[in-house]
Structure 1
Amino acid sequence: MPSSVVHAGFALLLAAGLLKGAYDRPALAAVLLIVVLPEVDSLLGPVMSGAHRTVGHNFVLPAAAGVLLYYDTRVRSTSALRERVTDRWIRVAWVCLFVHVFAHVFLDWAHLEGVNALWPLHDEFFRLEGEILLSTADGFVQTFVDIELDPETGERTVDAGGTGTTESVHVNNPVEPDSPENLADADVIDRRFPIAQRGWRLYLIAVGVFAVVARRFQGDPPTEKM
């Protein structure tokens, strides 16, 4: 699975492009904190089956946070958040929310058993796996969502990459490097803290760091003389 370092590398890239007018060390620190925070759900593994990739890895909670943030800062006549922070930090809050979804949850959605996308409304893990292509023989082809129609009953079934529920899915992590059943019988427990398990992941880390360093040395364009 993508490590926290890979998530951070992707987050740095997004921050460099999105933190317009609010790009500084405190804002970057906030972005990096938010992007690694979902991994805390692995600590709940010993007390909640399937907690990792569930509590901190879904689309329901960030969607609810986005609605609340929009309502408080755009709809209410008096914003509780604006009374406590400047407009700059409102921008940072939106970027942090975007980074959480796209630099963390979306990446994990496409790896191993996926994420419990609709938790706590619906308990089922989904993995984003498939392809979209144009074929001279078959035309437009997509396999991310498989729709089948039973010719006898006419019943339609939709498979969006479901992999199981919290009772059947275990995603290895340093807190629980294997399923609880296997851990109980293991003589030696190998707890691995991944950094870059694929070449593209190392590349993503390097590009994220490069973007931050390059932006640090960028200056304002010279003014044209009339």
Structure 2
Amino acid sequence: MPSSVVHVAFGALVATALLREFDAKLLAAVCAFAALPDVDTFLGIWIAGGHRAILHTALLPAVLGAFVYWDSRRPDSWLCERFGPNGPHVAGVGVVALLFGGVLPDLMTNGVNLLYPVHDRFYTFAGSIELSSTEGLVQTFVDFGDEPGGGGTVGGTTENTHYYTGVDLERGEDPENAERVFPVVSSGLQLVVVLTALAGVAGRFREGKR
């Protein structure tokens, strides 16, 4: 599964692409949005099944995005008063980072409780898109047939689902002296994402010094 390092890297890519102004403070703010869902790793210690549910729900960026849009239209915008005229823009970029850097990578890897708490069900959206010489465009993300299956799969609920982390190994009390593994990158592709984010951030800072 993507680590917090990978989520932050996705957030950095969103920041380098969308922020009009760029400095370390704004970069950190956007990356914090991308890392926010992983906070439920710790919440899951006290709330069974809470990891990948409480803050991984797509309802979180939807609600925050609606608030940012609504607030930015107000003459007495709270974001402008609190963070300056650039506040709504930075918050909007943060919401994008939350969705594309925090929620969706986990949805594509092992799944998230996508509509929690309105609908308690874990979903995994994984598959491929191929161009076949005989079948044309083929995708396996969504199964439109009558038979169940395909890349878009449905898992359990918060009552019977637990995701292993170095913080919370298993549901209930963890075994004593058990090995705790904290992943940094779990594949070559994730390493490429991290390195690309570092290159993009370095490029933006370099442009700012010109």
How high is the TM-score relative to the length of structure 1? 0.83
In structure 1, the residue corresponding to 2:161 is in which secondary structure?
Answer: coil
What is the CA distance between 1:23 and its match in structure 2? 0.7
Unaligned runs of 5+ in 1: 151-156, 222-226
What is the CA distance between 1:101 and its match in structure 2? 0.6
Q: Is residue 142 of structure 2 the alignment partner of residue 145 of structure 1?
A: yes
* Contact kept? 2:15, 2:30, Cα under 8 Å: yes
What is aligned with 2:51? Answer: 52
Tell me which moved more, 100-109 or 28-37: 28-37
1:1-226 equivalence runs, <5 A? 1-20=1-20, 22-74=21-73, 76-112=74-110, 114-149=111-146, 160-180=152-172, 183=174, 186-218=175-207
What is the CA distance between 1:165 and its match in structure 2? 1.0
**What do residues 115-148 of structure 1 show as CA deviations (whole Å, max 9, x unaligned)?**
1111111011111112222323223322212234
Cα distance in 1 between the residues matched to 2:69 and 2:81: 15
Unaligned runs of 5+ in 2: none
What is aligned with 1:224? Answer: none
Counterpart of 2:164 in structure 1: which amino acid?
N
Cα distance in 1 between the residues matched to 2:68 and 2:204: 29
In structure 2, the residue corresponding to 1:101 is in which secondary structure?
Answer: helix
What is the CA distance between 1:219 and its match in structure 2? 5.8
What is the CA distance between 1:70 and its match in structure 2? 0.7
Structure 1 residues 219 and 64: CA distance shift in structure 2, 3 A: closer
Counterpart of 1:126 in structure 2: which amino acid?
Y
Larger radius of gyration: 1
Counterpart of 2:180 in structure 1: which amino acid?
R
**What do residues 180-201 of structure 1 show as CA deviations (whole Å, max 9, x unaligned)?**
37x3xx3532221111121121
Counterpart of 1:82 in structure 2: which amino acid?
C
CA RMSD between the two structures: 2.2
Cα distance in 1 between the residues matched to 2:197 and 2:118: 34
Percent sequence identity is 38
Matched residues, number:
209
In structure 2, the residue corresponding to 1:127 is in which secondary structure?
Answer: strand
* Contact kept? 2:15, 2:27, Cα under 8 Å: yes
